[in-house]
Amino acid sequence: MPLDGHRQRPLLPRTAQQPPQEPNPTDGDDGNSNGRKRRRSYTSKACNFCRDKKKACDGQPDCSQCLRRGLKCEYRVVTNAILKAIPAGFQLVDKQESLGNADAADLLEILKRVPEDEALEGLQLLRTGNDPALICSALRGYDAGLSSAALNRAILPPTQSSLEFELMMRHPVAYPAWPSCQPSKLDLDFLLLPREVLSSASHSGSTETADSFSPYTRRPRRNSLNSTGRVGPRNPSTLYDNRLLSVDITQWTDVPITNEFSIAVLQLYLETDYPMMPLIDVDLLLDGLLGKNEFCSRILVSGLFAWACQGYAAFEPEATVVGHYFYVEAKELWRRSKEARVEESICTVAAVQYLLMTSVSLGAGAQYVELLDDLLDMSKRLELLNIGPSHDSRLNLDSSANYRKAKSQISWVLFACLTIYHHLAIMDLFRPLLQHNGAPRQRLPNFASEESTPDAVYAASVKQLKRIVLFYRHNHPESSYSFFWHSALLYLANAMLAEANVPGHATDWRFYLRLCIACYQTLYTGFPLAKGITLSLLSMALEKGAMDIPQTRAIRRDLELRGKHHMIPDQVPVYWVVDLDLAVTDPFVAHAENLV
């Protein structure tokens, strides 16, 4: 019995002793073996959740805290200590590279979820060099507004009793029979995304002055002591002609460019625009550049490069600045030529045609009208156009064979420029005759079809334009840097706006409208006129309820990003008609300057 006389708590029997365990070498120990609580294991990192909540993290790939709460366990790549040690203003990771990696990661996640056929198409687009961000937009189910089934129905050949079939038989050049085409849904989605702008390191963040306007100049930049950082020109797969390598461009212009840049621009022009408008025979032109004949001049070179540099801007945006200097030089040479009454030649006619096209693409409407008058007057004086039936062709026998060849070719090309736009002329011709507000239909007695009305002819031309725009955009990368086809975009967009939300019309109008606008967005990289037309079409679409405000704002933002490299402020085209239906009754209000 205890001495103090108090009863003590009875002790329980001793439990069976567990076998001794080896101490964990990673466990901390304070040197006391009397059953004290051991310190938790040390870890040099903690997950984001534990770091924010100040929890004890065990540093495992999936830590116990996150596992218990069912959270995704994530770790920072760079610790706060390292981030705080970085000097202010210093970039640890390149932003552009970081965004590209994020787009690639998004694309990988999307490829895991989409059906196999769409995943294969996405991989094919990636292999052909498309941007991962654009492919992501297409794979996310971008609403094209046109299903593959609807497209297949639209490209079916017309019935033999229709007016369109009769037009194909009687006018196969203007109304050809198109081959079948079956683009997939992903192809249709991807077509609605404007092509990516290719910019160089020298362009981004540049605040160069006019004296250092190009990465191709022979003069060093003001902020650089050498020219080793120049951006190289586009490398063609095969040289168009070996004579290009012998051209010394400094003999033909005061604009400071290198021979390498001139070769790249001429190469692209000869591959893209020359087949559609061969103003000068290519052999005569190349020999003229080498000084072997008279079919080259300073004004011709300046006019040609003023036009061709705009297309080359798809590969190097700063080429638009070079093209503007060529445009200024060509205009000055033409002004001096007129004042001095210099003898006119085939080269001068071609140069004025290039100047005319460039003024159109820049939105300089008044200059376009003036140059067109000069071109027509000069062509008549040189007997290229409007030659009377009493003209004696033997008068040309005294000229050289090359001169007769050049004269015949440029005469034909100028005539083709005035007459090649079949469907545009047909649509303008029948536009005032279209049925409005339930008016009785007019019949065209020269056709056998029962539906031979102006509306049917107009619809047949619209259908042809749909195929031209869709197939050219889908099959030809030249659609991104050739401006010759933009009239088809303008007329088709107007036709689709006329069908917007109108009962009885096909439901594909939204797809083709967005397709035309996306093409104009892409063309704006090199051709400033595309912006004025796009903004006018957006205003028309808002007025008709064909697009909403967020869509138009997104397109406007895209245009602003694409136009940063343009040297001169955007000019809204003054004399360019955009609203073609309104132009029938009020041409002045239909101009772009009144629509924007």
**pLDDT over 60 at 420, yes or no:** yes
Closest CA to 375 of 361, 354, 358: 354
Position with higher pLDDT, 546 vs 104: 546
Task: Kindly report which listed range (431-440, 462-471, 580-589) carries the lowest average pLDDT score.
Answer: 431-440
Quote the pLDDT of residue 325: 95
Q: How far apart are CA 501 and CA 479, in angstroms?
A: 29
Q: Is residue 130's pLDDT more than 60?
A: yes
> Mean pLDDT throughout 47-62?
85
CA distances from 97 to 93, 101, 462 (A): 8, 6, 44
> Per CATH, which fold does 48-79 belong to?
CD2-Gal4 (4.10.240)
In this structure, what are the phi and psi dihedrals at residue 408, rounded to the nearest 5 degrees?
A: -65, -40
Strands (E), 315-400: none
Tell which phi-psi region holds residue 208, choosing left (phi > 0), alpha (psi between -120 and 50) or beta: beta
Residue 219: which pLDDT band, with cuts at 50, 70 and 90? very low
Q: Which pLDDT belongs to residue 166? A: 93
Of 530, 441, 410, residue with least CA distance to 481:
530
* pLDDT, average across residues 509-531: 93
> Which segment, 4-18, 82-96, 452-466, is predicted with the most confidence on average?
452-466
Using the predicted structure, report yes or no on whether residue 233 has a pLDDT greater than 50: no
Structure-token pair, residue 513? 């409208």
The predicted structure's pLDDT at residue 568: 65
pLDDT of residue 224 exceeding 70? no
pLDDT of residue 418: 73
Which amino acid, 420?
A: I
The rounded distance, in Å, linking the Cα atoms of 577 and 594 is 10
| DSSP structure class, residue 432 | G
The percent of residues above 90 in pLDDT, for the chain, comes to 40
Given a cut of 50, whether residue 112 has pLDDT beyond it is yes
Note the pLDDT tens digit of each residue in 90-102: 555 555 555 556 6
Q: How far apart are CA 197 and CA 526, in angstroms?
A: 10
DSSP label at residue 57: -
Give me the mean pLDDT over the 542-548 stretch: 91
- How far apart are alpha carbons 574 and 394 in whole angstroms? 45
Distance CA 480, CA 523 (A): 6
Say yes or no to pLDDT of 26 above 60: no
With cut-offs at 50, 70 and 90, classify the pLDDT of residue 110.
confident
Per-residue pLDDT band for 416 (boundaries 50, 70, 90) equals confident
Q: pLDDT digit string (tens) for 471-481?
A: 899 888 999 99
Q: Please give the pLDDT value at position 495.
A: 95
Residue 29 pLDDT > 60, yes or no? no
When pLDDT is averaged across residues 109-123 and rounded to a whole number, the result is 76
Region of poorest pLDDT, from 21-30, 405-414, 503-512? 21-30
315 vs 17 pLDDT, higher one: 315
- Match 């567990």 to its residue by tokens: 18
Task: Look at the block and give the residue holding tokens 């090649």.
Answer: 420
Helices 454-475 + 486-499 axis angle, to 10: 130
pLDDT at 504 over 70: no
Both tokens assigned to 191: 């077509």
Q: What is the pLDDT of residue 334?
A: 96
The pLDDT tens digits for 275-309 are 999 999 999 999 999 999 999 999 999 999 999 99
pLDDT at 199: 47
**CA nearest to 415, candidates 407, 427, 423:** 407
pLDDT score of 345 more than 90: yes
In DSSP terms, 591 is beta-bridged to: 577
Q: What is d(CA 445, CA 545) in angstroms, rounded to the nearest whole number? A: 37
| Domain residue extents for the chain | 48-79, 103-141, 210-388+396-403, 423-595
Is the pTM higher than 0.85? no
